[in-house]
């Protein structure tokens, strides 16, 4: 297995075209365990961290652009970004230890296509767009269209994510991400739940709810979004009926598996709990931000 560290997107594109079967990487936090687990090594590893564009974080014209290989520690360390996207920042900050945080990236977290990836539900509720390097240019697709199943993506051979774009949230928006793990740190989510709410006065005007680790990919919860949209928001937060409806909808949409991390029944039940709790936090943040 050879290593290459191109400094431009074009160079990376050429290396991938010239070496079929190669893999791009940023932190290799998933790749190295896969190799050690016996997965065949690619002929070439392409390190994306030397390409400035993939390592940058900018805010221009009402839009944030996050390099796909930027270590999540640098994302969570950016005060402007964490203020704009507290839930996404929390989710990104939950990917592993401090050691992992200096390697993990939003691009890797999404392109590895683990159903349990912490940052993905939070990316999706924020409507992130992925800018993808193709064989001869770029294409921009909703981040939700990248992962298609466990370990499966819509990226063609030789394609890689350059960056994500996120529009500034509207005024009165709050978002939150919660996950359930058995320990307090270092585990893969058994369930993850991201909620983003926009409020106008005393009512929710827009709601997005996405769950992780309960289906082959991160999954939206339209019924929860419907229950939230138009819901009243008081000093006491969302009312109990709305919270119960969110929980029900979240549990219902789950299509989980039994595995070493949790059972189907557990994931269903806790998906509802976390969706409800994340909604309550998002509502509080939305009110404070309104």
Partner 1 sequence: MSRTHVTCTVNGDEVDFLAADDTSLLDALREELGLTGAKEGCGTGDCGACSILLDGRLNCSCLVFAPEAEGRDIVTVEGLADGDHLHPLQQAFLEGAALQCGVCTPGFLVAAKALLDENPDPTETEIRYGLAGNLCRCTGYDKIVRAVQEAAVQLNGAGK
Partner 2 sequence: MTATENPTYTWVGTRPIRHDGYDKVVGKARFAADLDLPGQLHTAYLRSPHPHARILSIDTDAAAAMPGVRAVVTGADFPDLDPMNPNFDVSVNVMARDVVLYNGHAIAAVAASTRAEARSAAAAIDVEYELLPAILSLDESTADDAPLVNENNITRFVESDGPSNLATVNVNERGDVEAAFADADLVVEREFETAWVHQGYIEPHACVVDVGPDGRADIWASSQGHFMVRAVTAAVLGWEPSRIKVTPAEIGGGFGGKTTIYLEPVAARLSEKSGRPVKSVMSRDEVLRATGPAPAAKVRVKIGATSDGDLTAIEGWLGYAVGSANDFAGLVGAMSVASYKFPNLKLEAIGALTNTPKTAAYRAPSAPHAAFAVESVIDEIAQQLDLDPIEIRLRNAVVEGDPTAMGMPHPRIGFVECLEAIRDSEHYRSPVPEGAARGIGTGFWFNIGEQSSATVNVNEDGTATVITGSPDIGGSRASMALMAAEELGIDVYRITPVVAGTETVGFTDITEGSRATFATGMAVVNACRELVEDLKARAATILGVEAEAVDWVDGEAVADGKDPLPLAAIAAKAKSTGGPLTETASLNAGGAGPSFAVHCCDLAVDEETGHVEILRYTTAQDAGTAIHPSYVEGQMQGGTAQGIGWALNEEYVYDDEGAMQNAGFLDYRIPVASDLPMIDTIIVEVPNPAHPYGVRGVGETGIVPPMATIANAITRATSVRMTSLPMSPPKILERLGER
Site string for partner 1, 91-110 (x = CB under 8 A): -----xxxxx-xx-------
Distance between CA atoms of 40 and 239, rounded to whole angstroms? 52
180 binds partner 2 (CB under 8 A): yes
Within 187-258, residue ranges assigned H as helices are: 222-228, 240-253
**Choosing among partner 2, partner 1, none, which partner's interface includes residue 182 (Cβ < 5 to 8 Å by kind)?**
partner 2
Of the candidates 11, 47, 206, 223, which one interacts with partner 1 according to CB under 8 A?
47
**Choosing among partner 1, partner 2, none, which partner's interface includes residue 35 (Cβ < 5 to 8 Å by kind)?**
partner 1
Instruction: Give residues 208-237 in contact with partner 2 (rule: CB under 8 A).
Output: none
Smallest gap from Cβ 87 to partner 1, in A, equals 19
**182, 191 in Cβ contact below 8 A?**
no
* Burial group, residue 162, by CB count within 10 angstroms (0-12, 13-18, 19+): buried
Distance between CA atoms of 200 and 194, rounded to whole angstroms? 20
Smallest gap from Cβ 187 to partner 2, in A, equals 6
Length reported for the chain? 290
* CA distance to 52, 100, 137, 281, per residue, from 7 (Å): 7, 23, 16, 41
**Choosing among partner 1, partner 2, none, which partner's interface includes residue 28 (Cβ < 5 to 8 Å by kind)?**
partner 1
For 56-61, the CB contacts below 8 A with 24+ separation are 56/163, 57/81
60 binds partner 2 (CB under 8 A): no
Of the candidates 35, 165, 170, 287, which one interacts with partner 1 according to CB under 8 A?
35
Distance between CA atoms of 80 and 181, rounded to whole angstroms? 28
Of the candidates 61, 183, 236, 288, which one interacts with partner 2 according to CB under 8 A?
183
> Which contiguous run of DSSP H or E holds residue 148?
strand 147-149
> Tell me, what DSSP letter sits at residue 204?
E
Smallest gap from Cβ 115 to partner 2, in A, equals 15
259 binds partner 2 (CB under 8 A): yes
**Choosing among partner 1, partner 2, none, which partner's interface includes residue 87 (Cβ < 5 to 8 Å by kind)?**
none
Nearer to partner 1, 46 or 120 (CB): 46
Smallest gap from Cβ 41 to partner 1, in A, equals 6
Please spell the DSSP secondary structure of 53-69, one letter per residue.
Answer: GGG-EEEETTEEEEETT
- Report which of 11, 97, 100 is spatially closest to residue 54, judged by C-alpha positions: 11
Smallest gap from Cβ 282 to partner 2, in A, equals 18
Site string for partner 1, 176-215 (x = CB under 8 A): --------xxx-----------------------------
Q: Binders of partner 2: how many residues, by CB under 8 A?
A: 23
Smallest gap from Cβ 146 to partner 1, in A, equals 23
Of the candidates 135, 171, 186, 232, which one interacts with partner 2 according to CB under 8 A?
186
* CA distance to 181, 228, 251, 276, per residue, from 242 (Å): 25, 7, 14, 9
The contact set with partner 2 (CB under 8 A) reads 33, 36-37, 180, 182-188, 190, 259-263, 265-266, 269-270, 273-274
């Amino acid at each position: 297995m050879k290593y290459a560290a191109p400094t431009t997107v074009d160079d990376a594109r050429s290396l991938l075209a010239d070496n079929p079967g190669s893999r791009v990487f940023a932190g290799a936090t998933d790749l190295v365990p896969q190799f050690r687990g016996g997965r065949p090594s690619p002929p070439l590893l392409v390190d994306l961290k030397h390409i400035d564009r993939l390592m940058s974080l900018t805010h221009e014209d009402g839009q944030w652009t996050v390099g796909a290989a930027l270590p999540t520690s640098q994302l969570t360390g950016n005060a402007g970004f964490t203020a704009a996207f507290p839930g996404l920042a929390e989710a990104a900050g939950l990917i592993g230890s401090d050691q992992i945080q200096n390697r993990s990236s939003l691009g890797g977290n999404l392109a590895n296509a683990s159903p349990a990836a912490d940052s993905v539900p939070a990316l999706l509720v924020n409507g992130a767009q992925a800018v993808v390097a193709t064989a001869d240019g770029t294409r921009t697709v909703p981040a939700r269209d990248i992962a298609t199943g466990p370990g499966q993506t819509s990226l063609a051979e030789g394609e890689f994510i350059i960056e994500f774009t996120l529009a500034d949230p509207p005024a009165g928006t709050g978002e939150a991400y919660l996950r359930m793990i058995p320990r307090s740190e270092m585990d893969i989510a058994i369930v993850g739940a991201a909620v983003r709410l926009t409020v106008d006065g005393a009512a929710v005007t827009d709601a997005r709810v996405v769950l992780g680790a309960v289906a082959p990919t991160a999954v939206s919860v339209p019924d929860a979004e419907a229950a939230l949209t138009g819901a009243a928001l008081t000093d006491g937060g969302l009312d109990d009926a709305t919270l119960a409806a969110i929980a029900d909808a979240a549990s219902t949409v789950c299509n989980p598996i039994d595995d070493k991390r949790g059972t189907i029944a557990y994931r269903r039940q806790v998906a509802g709990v976390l969706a409800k709790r994340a909604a309550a936090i998002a509502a509080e943040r939305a009110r404070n931000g309104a």
